[in-house]
Amino acid sequence: MKCRRCRGQAVIELRRHNSSFCKDCFFDYLTNQVTLAQEKQKMFSREDRVLVVVSGGKDSLALWEILLGLGVNAWGLHINLGIDEYSQKSEKSVRNFAENYDAELLITNIKDEHGRGVLDIASKTTRTACSACGLIKRYLFNKVALEKGFSVVATGHNLDDEAASLLGNVLHWKEGFLGRQSPVLPSVHPKLARKVKPLFRLTERETAAYCILKGIDYLKEECPLVKGSTSLHYKEALNLLEQKSPGTKHSLYFGFLKKRAVFEPPQLNLKECLRCGQVTTDETCAFCRLLSEVESKTRVSKERIC
């Protein structure tokens, strides 16, 4: 198997591109895809301070490493979700990376700040663990970006994530989500940073291979709470189709980006949360409502015990 670019010994085959690459050309390919994503979608400029949300997995660490390599002013933000050993390993993986790359890292810990981990919180509400986790992470990265003056928040969502999310939105024709699904969400309020997904042109197999070949020590373990989630089913179905017809995920997501204008983006009436001041469409934000739900459930339980 020869490298498509230099004809050297290839280390990876990318069926959807009908290409193979040697190690160095694969690094170039990957970095070029991120540059292309950034330039075409106008994700950020040299002036932007970028907050990279890093879980400690392959995607977020690959993203942080690439952005640092491109000279982007990219700080890491790790949100410790309080999922026992898994969260300890995640934080350790992020700390190691920051130390090795001499990168600036911010850490916030849900258990320290709110007294409970994500599973404990979710179990006291009607949300699934993944739904509560997503809500908490979005709230916290917006909050940190605002407090620390970051104009852009970057997440490690890759093509598999975006295609799976899109498939879910299409299977249930969630028009609001379809209207705003994009690799870039512009800032719609002075208190909200722009959200970008610079890895949307790359698959998870590619970011994993990048980390391995670069010697980035990422956490291989999957979050224990994700098992059985619908997003995994969507990924499974897409993997089946991708195997039969390489390029299916790319076609689904990139085709959508061309057509997405047909879906109306939702009209948002943004306010500031009466409780915490963060941006919301309601009187209080979803995060504060989640905490209220937990508090009231806990109160009821305590009263029952008394």
Which positions lie near a second copy, rule CB under 8 A? 170-173, 175, 230, 233-234, 236-238, 240-241, 244-245, 248, 251-252, 255-256, 258-259, 262-263
Nearest distance from C-beta of residue 230 to a second copy, angstroms: 7
Q: Residue 152 or residue 252: which is nearer to a second copy going by CB? A: 252
What distance in Å separates the CA atoms of residue 227 and residue 235, rounded to the nearest whole number? 12
Place of tokens 């689904």: 252
Q: How many CB atoms lie within 10 A of CB 10?
A: 20
**What is the smallest separation between the CB atom of 257 and a second copy, expressed in angstroms?**
9
Q: Cβ 245 to a second copy, closest distance in Å?
A: 7
Residue 76 CB, nearest approach to a second copy (Å): 35
Q: 105 pairs with which residues across the strands?
A: 76
Tell me the two tokens of residue 237: 């179905």
* Residue 54 · residue 153 · CB < 8 Å: no
Neighbours of 44 (CB within 10 A): 21
Which pair of tokens denotes residue 138?
Answer: 């979005």
Looking at residue 45, what DSSP letter applies? -
Query: In degrees rounded to 5, what are phi and psi of residue 89?
Result: -65, -40
Residue 112 or 236 with smaller CB distance to a second copy: 236
Identify the three-state secondary structure at position 194. strand
Residue closer to a second copy by CB (options 109, 239) is: 239
- Cα 295 from chain centroid? 28
Query: How far apart are CB 104 and a second copy at their closest, in Å?
Result: 41
Q: Which C-beta is closer to a second copy: that of 26 or that of 234?
A: 234
Task: Indicate the residue among 201 and 235 with the shorter CB distance to a second copy.
Answer: 235
- Minimal distance in Å, beta carbon 263 to a second copy? 7
CB nearer a second copy, residue 43 or residue 178: 178
Strand partners, 50: 74, 152
**Residue 305 CB, nearest approach to a second copy (Å):** 37
Nearer to a second copy, 4 or 233 (CB): 233
What are residue 8's phi and psi, to 5 degrees?
Answer: -75, -175
Q: How many CA atoms lie within 13 A of 267 on its CB side?
A: 0
